[in-house]
Amino acid sequence: MRCKGLDVVLFTVASCTTCIAAITVPTTAPSTASTIDSSQVAVSLEFFAFPGYTELVSTETCLANLQALRGAPVAVRIGGTTQDRATYDPSLATPVSYTVASPTDAPTSLTFGPSFFTLAASDLKGNVTIGLNRQLNNQANTLSAAVQAKNSMPNMYAIELGNEPDLYASTSPIVPSSGWSQTADAASEKSWFTAIAPSVGNIFQAAVYLSWRTTATIPLLGTSINNVRSVSEHSYPQSACNGATTDLSTLMSHSGIVSYTSGFKADAASAHAAGVRYFLGETNSATCGGGGISPTFGAALWIVDYVLQGALNGIERSYFHQGTIGDCQYCWWGRFTTGAPFYGAYFVSTFLGTDGAKLEMLDNGTGAVASYVIFNSAGAPIRLLVYNSNYYDATGTRSSTAVSFTGGGIPSAGTATALRLTGPNATSRVDEGGIVTIGGGVTFDGNCNVVGTETRENVVVTGGTLTVSVQASEALIVYL
Which positions lie near ligand NAG, rule CB under 6 A?
20, 38, 72-73, 126-127, 155, 157, 363-364, 366-367, 393-394, 424-425, 427-428, 434
Nearer Cβ to ligand NAG, position 52 or 423?
423
Nearer Cβ to ligand NAG, position 305 or 363?
363
Q: What is the DSSP letter of 336?
A: B
Nearer Cβ to ligand NAG, position 215 or 371?
371
Q: How far is the CB of 473 from ligand NAG (least distance, A)?
A: 10
* 330 class by beta-carbon count within 10 Å (0-12 exposed, 13-18 middle, 19+ buried): buried
Nearer Cβ to ligand NAG, position 349 or 428?
428
CA distances from 24 to 149, 295, 371 (A): 50, 35, 11
Nearer Cβ to ligand NAG, position 326 or 367?
367
Residue 274, C-beta contacts closer than 8 angstroms, at least 6 positions apart: 218, 225, 228, 231
How many C-beta atoms surround the C-beta of residue 243 within 10 A?
7
Q: How far is the CB of 425 from ligand NAG (least distance, A)?
A: 4
Q: How far is the CB of 465 from ligand NAG (least distance, A)?
A: 16
Q: How far is the CB of 432 from ligand NAG (least distance, A)?
A: 6
Question: Is the Cβ–Cβ distance between 199 and 226 less than 8 Å?
Answer: no
Element (H, E) at 118: helix 115-123
Nearer Cβ to ligand NAG, position 156 or 274?
156
Question: Is the Cβ–Cβ distance between 35 and 357 less than 8 Å?
Answer: yes
Q: Which amino acid is at 163?
A: N
Q: How does strand 18-25 pair with strand 443-444?
A: unpaired
Question: Is the Cβ–Cβ distance between 213 and 259 less than 8 Å?
Answer: no
Q: How far is the CB of 392 from ligand NAG (least distance, A)?
A: 9
Nearer Cβ to ligand NAG, position 215 or 400?
400
Question: Is the Cβ–Cβ distance between 98 and 75 less than 8 Å?
Answer: no
Residue 382, C-beta contacts closer than 8 angstroms, at least 6 positions apart: 353, 355, 356, 374, 375, 376, 409, 479, 480
Nearer Cβ to ligand NAG, position 134 or 254?
254
Nearer Cβ to ligand NAG, position 157 or 204?
157
- The CA distance from 453 to 443, in Å, is 9
Nearer Cβ to ligand NAG, position 168 or 342?
342
Q: How far is the CB of 299 from ligand NAG (least distance, A)?
A: 13
- The CA distance from 64 to 362, in Å, is 31
Q: Name the residue with the smallest CB distance to ligand NAG.
A: 434
Q: How far is the CB of 125 from ligand NAG (least distance, A)?
A: 8
HSE value, Cβ hemisphere, 13 Å, CA-based, for 453: 3
Residue 192, C-beta contacts closer than 8 angstroms, at least 6 positions apart: 134, 139, 142, 161
Q: How far is the CB of 149 from ligand NAG (least distance, A)?
A: 12
Q: How far is the CB of 39 from ligand NAG (least distance, A)?
A: 7
- Short-list 404, 427, 400, 16, CA closest to 252: 427
Q: How far is the CB of 171 from ligand NAG (least distance, A)?
A: 36
How many C-beta atoms surround the C-beta of residue 298 within 10 A?
29
- Short-list 26, 7, 23, 25, CA closest to 403: 23
Cα 85 → chain centroid: 25
Q: What is the DSSP letter of 110?
A: E
Nearer Cβ to ligand NAG, position 163 or 404?
404
Name the 3-class secondary structure at 135.
Answer: coil
Q: How far is the CB of 159 from ligand NAG (least distance, A)?
A: 12
Nearer Cβ to ligand NAG, position 379 or 424?
424
Q: How far is the CB of 126 from ligand NAG (least distance, A)?
A: 6
The values of phi and psi at residue 397, to 5°, are -90, 140
